[in-house]
């Protein structure tokens, strides 16, 4: 018969679990920092060299080169409107300054007013490659200062001659404020702060999220699951050692109880990271879809600019439901599959194929209508990959029936003449 656990035993077990978790962290953090040259060899030169002073660049020192609307408020650069330039609305601010990249592995950026639909990119040019831009996307964790590991990009090296900050996407009717960029030398606490910022960075769900969730941006210093698993394993060893050296005349709770409580505490920390992502995703989902009709929701979804043409294509090609082919830009086969899904059940695209001269000629023999898909934010006419295809279409006397954004509908010379719109 199992002996019930008293309140006192439970509290003793909880105390042991908490103490083991804390002691494990106290042991692991110095050990991790001492092993940085082994675990992250890219930081070794920065650890050994003499530290430079940090470089602070307030927002008002950046000059707009691509801009919609905005201005300066004291030392802050304010953007209230992005420039409407294909393939994506954006604004770019630059600052020219000479410094050595190998003195500054960290960037502390302070940007207010960001949202998940607004990507922020850091661009730089080097003295050894003038005119060539290198870039890194800055993670989003809400407002306030954040640290970014510049060594995630191997092109961060040499003499930097120019920095630029680019804002791409949608301001959602708000303003974004570039408070400051600060280049910082290596320091142990900055490494730990960077790891935490990577763990708490938010990225909205995409088409890969149903299959895998890394929990951190690509190239992050460490993954939460193995890090917390090691932390918990050390905690278990501490619990065993404490029990081993506890005097027999000092009553202790069953071994499984502090072990279970320590596991629960570690799980709560790991699950807390996941929950904060879910809370942010819930806010983003409500912003995109709450209070909208099904049609409006599809327009607001990630493939909305492709879905926008579906109703027009259904109407124009409704009498040729099995004589439609989708030709897509190479690398966009998944979007072609998505377009085929949206066209059902009124129109069945019998074939999907990358756009090239051969597929155009075959389409002219087998199909009445051709749907062209280019990359997001572009038009088929703007893509070099479609130039040969369009020349073949012109020679074959195809007529353009409809075009909006990255989607175009053409009638081959098999179809009845239609009026171009």
Q: What is the Cα–Cα distance from 376 to 228, expressed in whole angstroms?
A: 39
**289 burial class (0-12, 13-18, 19+ CB within 10 angstroms)?**
middle
Average pLDDT (260-264) is: 94
pTM for the predicted model, two decimal places: 0.84
Q: Which pLDDT belongs to residue 260?
A: 92
Q: Which pLDDT belongs to residue 421?
A: 44
Contact 136, 152 (CB under 8 A): yes
pLDDT tens per residue across span 128-172: 999 899 999 999 988 999 999 999 999 999 999 999 999 999 999
- Pick left, alpha or beta for residue 381 (phi over 0 → left; psi -120 to 50 → alpha; otherwise beta): alpha
Q: What is the Cα–Cα distance from 230 to 21, expressed in whole angstroms?
A: 11
Taking CA atoms, 230 is separated from 32, 108, 240, in Å, by 11, 29, 16
The enclosing H or E element of 370 equals strand 369-373
pLDDT at 417 exceeding the cut of 70: no
Confidence of residue 7 (pLDDT cuts 50, 70, 90): confident
- Pick left, alpha or beta for residue 258 (phi over 0 → left; psi -120 to 50 → alpha; otherwise beta): alpha
pLDDT tens per residue across span 187-222: 999 999 999 999 999 988 887 888 877 778 888 999
Q: What is the Cα–Cα distance from 222 to 40, expressed in whole angstroms?
A: 10
Q: What is the Cα–Cα distance from 187 to 190, expressed in whole angstroms?
A: 5
Q: What is the Cα–Cα distance from 270 to 26, expressed in whole angstroms?
A: 18
Pairing of strands 176-184, 106-112: antiparallel
Whose CA is closest to 9, among 258, 244, 264?
Answer: 258
Q: What is the Cα–Cα distance from 92 to 178, expressed in whole angstroms?
A: 11
Average pLDDT (49-68) is: 92
Q: What is the Cα–Cα distance from 111 to 197, expressed in whole angstroms?
A: 14
Contacts (Cβ under 8 Å, ≥6 apart) of 387: none
Average pLDDT (61-75) is: 93
pLDDT tens per residue across span 82-106: 998 877 899 999 999 999 999 999 9
Does residue 139 sit in helix, strand or coil? coil
Q: Which pLDDT belongs to residue 356?
A: 79
Which residue's structure tokens are 């964790």? 141
**326 burial class (0-12, 13-18, 19+ CB within 10 angstroms)?**
buried
Confidence of residue 379 (pLDDT cuts 50, 70, 90): confident
pLDDT at 419 exceeding the cut of 60: no
Q: Which pLDDT belongs to residue 108?
A: 98
- On average, the pLDDT of the chain sits at 88
Ordered by where they begin, the domains of the chain are: 7-35+221-286 (no CATH), 52-191 (2.60.120.260), 300-411 (3.40.1010)
pLDDT tens per residue across span 310-328: 888 888 776 666 688 999 9
Note the residue count of the chain: 421
The enclosing H or E element of 12 equals helix 7-34
Taking CA atoms, 97 is separated from 10, 55, 100, 122, 162, in Å, by 61, 10, 10, 14, 6
Cα-only R_g, the chain: 28
Q: What is the Cα–Cα distance from 105 to 197, expressed in whole angstroms?
A: 15
């Amino acid at each position: 018969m199992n002996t019930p656990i008293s309140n006192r035993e439970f509290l003793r077990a909880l105390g042991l679990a908490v103490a083991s978790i804390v002691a494990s962290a106290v042991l692991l953090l110095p050990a991790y920092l001492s092993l940085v040259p082994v675990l992250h060899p890219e930081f070794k030169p920065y650890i050994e060299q003499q530290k430079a002073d940090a470089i602070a660049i307030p927002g008002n020192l950046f000059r707009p080169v691509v801009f919609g609307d905005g201005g300066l408020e004291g030392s802050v650069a304010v953007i209230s409107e992005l420039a409407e330039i294909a393939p994506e609305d954006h604004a770019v601010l630059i600052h020219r300054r000479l410094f050595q990249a190998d003195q500054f592995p960290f960037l502390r950026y302070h940007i207010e007013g960001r949202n998940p639909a607004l990507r922020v990119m850091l661009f730089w040019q080097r003295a050894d490659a003038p005119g060539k831009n290198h870039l890194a996307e800055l993670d989003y964790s809400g407002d306030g200062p954040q640290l970014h590991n510049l060594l995630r990009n191997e092109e961060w090296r040499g003499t930097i001659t120019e920095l630029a900050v680019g804002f791409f996407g949608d301001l959602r009717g708000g303003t974004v404020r570039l408070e400051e960029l600060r280049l910082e030398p290596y320091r142990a606490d900055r490494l730990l702060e960077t790891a935490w910022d990577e763990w708490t960075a938010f990225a909205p769900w995409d088409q890969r999220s149903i299959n895998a969730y890394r929990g951190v941006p690509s190239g992050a210093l460490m993954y939460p699951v193995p890090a917390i698993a090691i932390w918990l394993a050390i905690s278990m060893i501490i619990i065993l050692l404490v029990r081993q050296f506890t005097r027999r005349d000092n009553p202790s709770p069953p071994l499984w109880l502090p072990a279970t409580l320590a596991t629960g505490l570690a799980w709560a920390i790991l699950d807390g990271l996941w929950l904060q992502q879910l809370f942010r995703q819930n806010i983003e989902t409500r912003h995109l879809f709450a209070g909208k009709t099904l049609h409006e929701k599809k327009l607001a979804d990630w493939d909305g600019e492709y879905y926008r043409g579906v109703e027009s294509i259904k109407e124009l090609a409704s009498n040729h439901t099995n004589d439609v082919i989708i030709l897509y830009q190479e690398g966009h086969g998944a979007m072609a599959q998505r377009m085929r899904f949206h066209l059902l059940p009124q129109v069945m695209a019998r074939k999907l194929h990358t756009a090239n001269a051969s597929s155009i000629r075959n389409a002219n023999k087998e199909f009445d209508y051709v749907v062209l898909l280019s990359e997001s934010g572009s038009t088929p006419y703007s893509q070099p990959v479609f130039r040969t295809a369009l020349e073949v279409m012109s020679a074959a006397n195809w007529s353009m029936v409809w075009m909006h954004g990255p989607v175009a509908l053409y009638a081959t010379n098999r179809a009845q003449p239609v009026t171009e719109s």
